[in-house]
Amino acid sequence: MSIKLSKRIERIPESVFTTMSRLAVENNAVNLGQGFPDFNGPDWLIEEVYNAMKNGKNQYAPSIGILSLRKNISELYKSIYDIDWSYEKEVIVTMGATEALFSAIHSVVDEGDEVIIFEPYYDSYIYDVLLAGGIPKFITLHKPVFSFNFDDLEKSITNKTKVIILNNPHNPTGKVYTKEELKFISEIAIKNDLIVISDEVYEFLTYDNTIHIPISTLTGMKERTITISSAGKTFGFTGWKIGWACANEQFIKGIHSIRQWTTFAVNTPCQHAVAFGLTKIKDYLPDFRKLYQKKRDFIIKELENSLFSPTIPLGSYFIMVNIPQNKNDMDLALELVRDYKVATIPPSVFYSISDEGKSMLRLCFAKQDETLKNGVKNLKAYKV
């Protein structure tokens, strides 16, 4: 039999994360590539999953998400951002941010629609857009502070543009968009009647007292923004895959239409645990932030005067470091994992139009202190 996969599949290459993680294991390397914590989130939240299971919360949840979680998401955003999302109509719980992104993009992008994506990007945006038949258009965030040229954005809009995808705080650069940048994006969106899909999974991970501003809170943006977040990042349990989207009723209905035929509903006991976790978030966040600030400061300090001079992330748990000028990211990442036993991510895979990614590596500092120390030591052992 000749097995023929769909044409759609041909557009999807093996992800760089799969490749680098395989090489990290094969070479017994310290893994600073993989983008998630190598330690547990809080024990008290794990207890809540047990409790939910023991209390019989083991059957399908409502397709839109359990009531208490939707209520707590809505209350949280009211209290911190002063934004009103109706828990009945404007919040949906998803299988991580990934499902929210897939469903949001599939519910608004038609064949031939253009979608603006800032590069470097979180790669699922591209493949979601391509799978939906859309056409990605790129705007580069330029080194060293990863700012974009306002003119580039304005000029990239055509009569086919339908969506801007924003990721704030940003993976892989750690950029936190300024109010001025967000205002400009909002003005463009409003002027051209565009939808903004705003991936804010790192909303609670900002450093040096940097304030995260959800673009939905800017004038005229609430009705045109789909805001996505994830408990996986906020509580450090990425494997639980509890995420959500907040948006006006029509968008939520669109996302729900897709999800009915993909996942239908999300893991029930973890939804109960996260609902509880959100009631404690104000006590939890200060220590959570301190923990990551310490790790970020450590890696910056260690690499400051090395061959891998760091850019300064103000958010997320990623850092982009510069590499020696005569090297490119792909070759160097392979050399480092093989000969220096440290896995990194070559960021050129996150760029489509600019070459800037070739001059950097992405590291993830959501790692135990021991892992970070060993990873940095191996990096510093590198000789040109």
Ligand X SMILES: Cc1ncc(COP(=O)(O)O)c(C=O)c1O
CB of 210 to ligand X, least distance (A): 17
Q: Which is nearer to ligand X, 125 or 276 (CB)?
A: 125
Contact 317, 173 (CB under 8 A): no
Note whether 236 binds ligand X by CB under 6 A: no
- Pick the piece of the chain touching ligand X (CB under 6 A) from 25-33, 238-246, 306-314, 374-382: 238-246
- Pick the piece of the chain touching ligand X (CB under 6 A) from 91-99, 184-192, 265-273, 301-309: 91-99
Query: Taking each helix axis from N to C terminus, what angle separates 268-279 and 43-54, rounded to the nearest 10 degrees?
Result: 130
Which residue of the chain is nearest ligand X when measured via CB?
Answer: 96
The CA distance from 371 to 32, in Å, is 8
Sequence-ordered list of residues with C-beta below 8 angstroms from that of 296, at least 6 positions apart, any chain: 207, 313, 317, 319, 365
Q: Which is nearer to ligand X, 241 or 259 (CB)?
A: 241
On the question of a cis peptide bond just before residue 214, with omega within 30 degrees of 0, the verdict is: no
x/- binding map, residues 241-260, to ligand X, per CB under 6 A? Answer: x-x-----------------
- Pick the piece of the chain touching ligand X (CB under 6 A) from 58-66, 77-85, 96-104, 292-300: 96-104
- Pick the piece of the chain touching ligand X (CB under 6 A) from 68-76, 94-102, 186-194, 333-341: 94-102
CB of 382 to ligand X, least distance (A): 26
Note whether 35 binds ligand X by CB under 6 A: yes
| DSSP-based helix, strand, coil % in the chain, nearest 5 | 45, 15, 40
Note whether 198 binds ligand X by CB under 6 A: no
Note whether 214 binds ligand X by CB under 6 A: no
The CA distance from 176 to 205, in Å, is 10
Size of residue set near ligand X by CB under 6 A: 14
CB of 195 to ligand X, least distance (A): 17
CB of 101 to ligand X, least distance (A): 6
Contact 134, 195 (CB under 8 A): no
x/- binding map, residues 165-184, to ligand X, per CB under 6 A? Answer: --x---x-------------
The CA distance from 183 to 179, in Å, is 6
Say if strands 242-246 and 195-199 run parallel, antiparallel, or are unpaired: unpaired
| Given 19, 31, 206, 230, the residue binding ligand X (CB under 6 A) | 230
How many CB atoms lie under 10 A from the CB of residue 327? 17
CB of 355 to ligand X, least distance (A): 22
Note whether 98 binds ligand X by CB under 6 A: yes
Q: Which is nearer to ligand X, 97 or 278 (CB)?
A: 97
The structure tokens listed for 148 are 């974009």
Note whether 371 binds ligand X by CB under 6 A: no
Contact 114, 158 (CB under 8 A): yes
CB of 241 to ligand X, least distance (A): 6
x/- binding map, residues 140-169, to ligand X, per CB under 6 A? Answer: ---------------------------x--
Selection from 174, 126, 207 nearest residue 362 by Cα: 174
Residues 41-70 interacting with ligand X (rule: CB under 6 A): none
Contact 329, 360 (CB under 8 A): yes
The CA distance from 231 to 280, in Å, is 13
- Pick the piece of the chain touching ligand X (CB under 6 A) from 140-148, 151-159, 237-245, 258-266: 237-245
The CA distance from 309 to 178, in Å, is 24
CB of 231 to ligand X, least distance (A): 8
Give, in order, the Cα–Cα distances in Å from 369 to each of 63, 176, 325, 377. Answer: 40, 25, 29, 12
Q: Give the interface with ligand X as residue ranges (CB under 6 A).
A: 35, 96-98, 122, 167, 171, 199, 201, 230, 232, 238, 241, 243
